[in-house]
Structure 1
């Protein structure tokens, strides 16, 4: 990176494993030159700092609580950077702790000390002359106000402390603006919506990035799907072969996802691609009827139906999303599961070759992409490395008892009662506590098999089995989303290194800022600074 090209030097507070730093590192000018460089970062977690250092070794790392860091060390780092990049704007980034502001906290008491972390920034602003202060937090941060005797927010006084804090920062020579940005609107595979605020010195512009993607818009690109981030070859384990059976609440989410995304989700597509019965006669089903399969090659009919389920509170049918959308914010606790459905059907007309394309779905602090084509493959249910075969290649020999099956998927997010998400959509928020409510991959298999119902089956299990019998589903498999999948969903490079056990790594992902948002924001400010400078020269 040429020194003349660096327009921003950044101190990254609450840096975590590096989402913000990664975003700044991705930022370029119109010519493709890097414009931002993080010079120092602060975090109290040893594994987070180790992960950050592994990926950003040129950054000065402080393994400290931001409230007690010796600022003389940081001042020295800033002074050296200013000498090297004399024309660069100095930025303080702070992803303030959000747990005790977020609505995800529910009715639980708030930690008063945690809610005062924002005041810890004041001493940094007193010691160092920053040009910009950039803030990321949950939307409820704007409601920051006093707590009652039970540590519950006082509704009548909400926002009082936030306004007071902003006024103090402004009194130090800044003005501020705030907005809410959804990462999916900028091409991310997660629909994480957060509050972003900026304090700037007078005379310096504040601007926020314009969306490039939208859920529905004739003028913008569609939201990117989460499906290309998922490993469909890892099918997970059958829900009927678990040592510890799933509880009914988990089964209800799976049932809701099956109904929403597999049985009823693609009815409008049925009329277009699948209007022929086994006798070779056209019989278009109603758009309110399910489609068993979509014909693909002669007698081998395949269909992919994928969705994501979230484990949040509320009705299960409201917790499922298509995999062609971004999933919600990734949290620090696993709250999403991916549901794969395997389908196999015969069609009697040799001319029935048709496309297998079809519609298919927030990563938060508790572990809960460009549009790409969904991956399809045949599962022949045989042993050996050639068991899984691309649908782009000829199918293997059709046996008298055929075992070809198509993998398809949806995600389940266990947070707050459970949502399911189609993998054609962005990922739900990834939360940090993936050990408590992990994202799951759900799969199902279609074929001609008996579905036994036992005396001790619960009502919801019986409903699932009845649906399976009706639609030819012979198995349903589930697994938690893996670190590699969550990492890519959040927007980290595939080779990004994280340290610590699986729970810690998922927590780091859920706690991280989505890098693409940081990238587009600093690029927008850079462009606005250029225009401001041009206007001054013209005047």
Structure 2
């Protein structure tokens, strides 16, 4: 009997997503191949429900990966790609010194099970960088220091004994078009004799020669994922005051990204206040064009407020260390500068013109906004349609210079980044369904963020799949 060639079997090959979660890997695979995955497996009903909402033509198995018989679910059809994203929290450094779970750490062995049962042509596995340190645990559930990496080497050896060539690397999502710095371990194993291909980065540091010469695109930034129309409440008139450490982080961020920054990130607030014409421009041009940068949280100093005409003799400026007057959504401000504040002890946050930091299962990123208005000696700015008002403040606290123009901060706003913004940062498409399952049941924000933090950035999956399985790109699923 004539042996089937790659061209003979490609129209019959299946694509399988183990540990499918909310669908990050599946979304990336679909971006690469133009088709949905055939089989998705996950033990979590909520995760499967989100996956079904976005991948309705996939066959879903809501059960433990160990309970699934690879040969039975594939019905004897060849598997072109089997993707694995086993639980990573018991490898991650974020786990700290807490006891590890041997059962969870052993989930990756299911890839060897698939290799021995149905021998997928290509196996891909994603995890945290620390996956390479996989080794035996002591009786207290702690990693034995001098045996780090021992189990990982056994795992690689088991794949090779099943006929696979194995390679692994660490990749950053920002280098492949996702506006996040998330860094992950990736393993590719092939059994078909073809070469493993690691796609070269498509994006890079804007300051690099490659970007300046047009070889690479500049990193996508946090600015892109922020919904600037969402209000950013003042940090001063909260019912429950912010924690002291939070205020200290905000203060450090204001100093670093506003006061000490020669070109702070600025958003223009137009005649419609927070409306659609609120644009972002680069500061290296005239002041009418302003840049915007965004990370996990946005901080903005508010400068001046104007309200009813009946109180026109009252001054509307104030220091940022005083409670803020009511801030409405009308055209009361000239400029706003922003940065991301992160809820980590040693973090100052980061600017808006770089990729968002790694998205975790618990939202640790907050947007800080500082609203500014021009400072005219003893006056602190004006309503865009009214005369200037006298300013009570005689000191120069909160005064900064931008492009040779003086501005003053009147308030600081703070809000958590919303789930949609975090999914945008991971590289999901804007229409990816995150707030409800396929039955229409709503997900709370905490569940949405958890799904996002556990997700594979789709652009990374896309890059690896399209580089190693180009022959499947023209294939369309057979009903």
Relative to the length of structure 2, the TM-score reads 0.75
Other-structure match for 2:149: 159
Selected match of 1:468 from 384, 395, 398: 398
Q: How many residues align?
A: 394
Counterpart mapping for 1:436-455 below 5 A: 438-447=364-373
Counterpart mapping for 1:5-404 below 5 A: 9-28=14-33, 34=34, 37-71=36-70, 73-76=72-75, 79=77, 82=78, 90-215=80-205, 216-219=207-210, 220-266=216-262, 296=287, 306=293, 323=294, 336-342=296-302, 387=330, 403-404=332-333
Q: Contact 1:304/1:342 (CA < 8 Å) preserved in 2?
A: no
Q: Describe the SS at the equivalent of 1:168.
A: helix
Deviations 1:6-26 (A, max 9, x none): 696311011111111110111
Q: Does 1:510 align with 2:456?
A: no
Cα separation, partners in 2 of 1:264 and 1:383, compared to 1, 3 Å: closer
Q: Contact 2:18/2:85 (CA < 8 Å) preserved in 1?
A: yes
Q: Which runs of 5+ in 1 are unaligned?
A: 29-33, 83-88, 271-291, 307-322, 328-335, 346-380, 389-402, 452-464, 531-539
Deviations 1:431-460 (A, max 9, x none): 0122xxx32111122357999xxxxxxxxx
Q: Contact 2:171/2:183 (CA < 8 Å) preserved in 1?
A: yes
Cα separation, partners in 2 of 1:102 and 1:467, compared to 1, 3 Å: farther
Other-structure match for 2:466: 523
Cα separation, partners in 2 of 1:46 and 1:163, compared to 1, 3 Å: same
Cα separation, partners in 2 of 1:339 and 1:206, compared to 1, 3 Å: same
Partner Cα distance (1:24, 1:487) in 2 = 17
Deviations 1:116-157 (A, max 9, x none): 111233322222121111010111101111112322212211
Cα RMSD between the aligned structures? 3.3
Deviations 1:273-324 (A, max 9, x none): xxxxxxxxxxxxxxxxxxx999736xxxx96675xxxxxxxxxxxxxxxx3x
Q: Describe the SS at the equivalent of 1:237.
A: coil
Partner Cα distance (1:218, 1:7) in 2 = 44
Deviations 1:369-427 (A, max 9, x none): xxxxxxxxxxxx9857xx25xxxxxxxxxxxxxx3332332111214543412121111
Partner Cα distance (2:426, 2:184) in 1 = 14
Cα separation, partners in 2 of 1:167 and 1:262, compared to 1, 3 Å: same
Cα separation, partners in 2 of 1:416 and 1:68, compared to 1, 3 Å: farther
Q: Contact 2:333/2:372 (CA < 8 Å) preserved in 1?
A: no
Deviations 1:208-230 (A, max 9, x none): 11011112421222211121211
Other-structure match for 1:372: none
Q: Contact 1:344/1:406 (CA < 8 Å) preserved in 2?
A: no
Deviations 1:319-338 (A, max 9, x none): xxxx3xxx5xxxxxxxx322
Q: Describe the SS at the equivalent of 1:125.
A: helix
Cα separation, partners in 2 of 1:100 and 1:450, compared to 1, 3 Å: farther
Q: Describe the SS at the equivalent of 2:460.
A: helix
Q: Does 1:432 align with 2:352?
A: no
Q: Which runs of 5+ in 2 are unaligned?
A: 1-7, 211-215, 267-282, 306-325, 381-394, 401-406, 437-442, 474-479
Deviation at 1:483, TM superposition (A): 1.3
